[in-house]
Every structure is written in structure tokens, then in C-alpha cells.
Amino acid sequence: MTAYKSDLQIVSTADGSNTIYNAQVGENYHSRHGALQESLHVFIKAGLTYFLETSGSVTANILEVGFGTGLNFLLSADYCTSHNINLAYTGIEAYPLSADMIAQTGYDQYVSALIWESFINKYEDGLKGQIQLNANCTLQIANSPLLNFYNNNKYDIIYFDAFAAAHQPEMWGEEAIAHTIKFLKSGGVFVTYAITGNLKRMLKTLGLTIQKIPGAAGKREMLRATL
């Protein structure tokens, strides 16, 4: 199942990067304050680089809830390739975008040409199974609702990038969050752009240690939690 093209529109954000507005959901895939800066701040800086620096690891196994446009993956792959980190990346996306729609985002300008070309050419294969993007990076996109996602892997980092709770409240409920945390390794890091009292309480109940850290532009704070 894929998102309907008629419901999707490319829109520019405040930092000059594009996002996609999904009329069916009534929400953008990224912050209107800046798609690129949000992804870099919340997921690359507060998630990926934080994990690598604190753990000393030269590998990263990432699960993303809400693969969307692939921007978080592209930036992660670019970072890991340039720093010789081995990246195994799994995205969960119930309504995947078409390769044609992703190509219209202009995200090719933010990563190396080789990473972009490999990603856009192999993207649809990634919806069917694991693909090798390059010597450092693998990608698999599970075309599945979150609660139907199962595998035997445990992940170092979880990027939780679902649409906002106002538009997809089921993604932020106890069942969804508990199911997600099942896939996090001990010592693993969970990051998301959102921070609410309810989310903090749920994560603490699941055994995570909470950090409130400065948010991306337009948000005072974001959440990082460690199991």
C-alpha cells in the first residue's frame, strides 16, 4: 500500500529544504521550521552521533518508526559512510511514498551523489527486502503498520518520527510505544522530536532514563531516552 499521489504536495520549509504535505493526514512529513535542520538536530546529532560518541561503537543498528521521505536515512547513511561506520537501517512505513515522489524533494543536494543514486535506484527493492546501499550501509523498509512489525533484531537507536499525536494519536499510545521499545537494546537510545508528560511517563515505566534536551527550531525541547 502506498500514499496516494493526489494527497501529496511538495512544500518549502523555513531553512530552504522541502517537505511533503499529506492532505489525507493533514500534516507535513517534517517541521515547517526546517525539514533538514530538524532531521540533523533530532536524529543525527541527538541520536546517531550521541550514540556513537558515548558508546565508542563503530557500528549502528537503527530502527526508524515512520520512514516517510527517507531523509533521516539518507543523512544517517551519508554520515556513516563518511565516518566509516557500518550502518544497518530498518524503516517502518505503513504507507510508503513512491520513488518518484521522493525524487521531487531535492534531498539529493544534502548527501553524496553516490548515496542518493544508490538509494533512489534501489528504494523500491528496499520495500521487498534488505538492500546493500554501499560497503557501509544496508537498508530494509518494512511496509507494515507499527503493531504488525516483528523481527528478532535489537537496535542501538530508535528514531521515532511518526506524525504528530494530534493527527496520529494511536502511534503515541501505550501499546505502540511499548511495542517499539521491545526492539531497543540495553543501552540503546530512543529519540523523537516530541516531548509530553504522558510520553515521559510511559518510557520511564518501560525502564528508560529520560533526558529533556533542546529541540529543533520551533520546539523548545525534545526527548532522548536510554534503556
Lowest pLDDT segment from 3-12, 15-24, 34-43, 123-132: 3-12
Residue with cell 500514499: 3
Q: How confident is the model at residue 219 (pLDDT cuts 50, 70, 90)?
A: confident
The yes-or-no verdict on residue 55 having pLDDT over 80 is yes
**171's grid cell:** 502511534
What residues contact residue 143 under an 8 Å CB cut-off, 6+ apart? 1, 93, 94, 96, 127
pLDDT of 1 reads: 46
**pLDDT tier at 3, thresholds 50, 70, 90:** low
pLDDT digits (tens, 9 = 90+) for 94-125: 999 999 999 999 999 999 999 999 999 999 99
Is the pLDDT at 4 greater than 60? The verdict is: no
Q: What percent of the chain has pLDDT over 90?
A: 88
Over residues 48-67, mean pLDDT: 97
At residue 24, the pLDDT reads 85
pTM here is 0.95
So what's the pLDDT on residue 6?
Answer: 67
* CATH, residue 112: 3.40.50.150
Q: How many domains does the chain have?
A: 1
Closest CA to 89 of 68, 72, 112: 72
> What's the mean pLDDT in 30-42?
95
| pLDDT at residue 86 in the model | 98
Please determine, for residue 162, whether its predicted confidence score (pLDDT) is greater than 50: yes
Residue 5's pLDDT band, with cuts at 50, 70 and 90, is low
Question: Residue 133 is part of which domain span?
Answer: 5-226
Q: Is 48 within 8 Å of 157 (Cβ atoms)?
A: yes
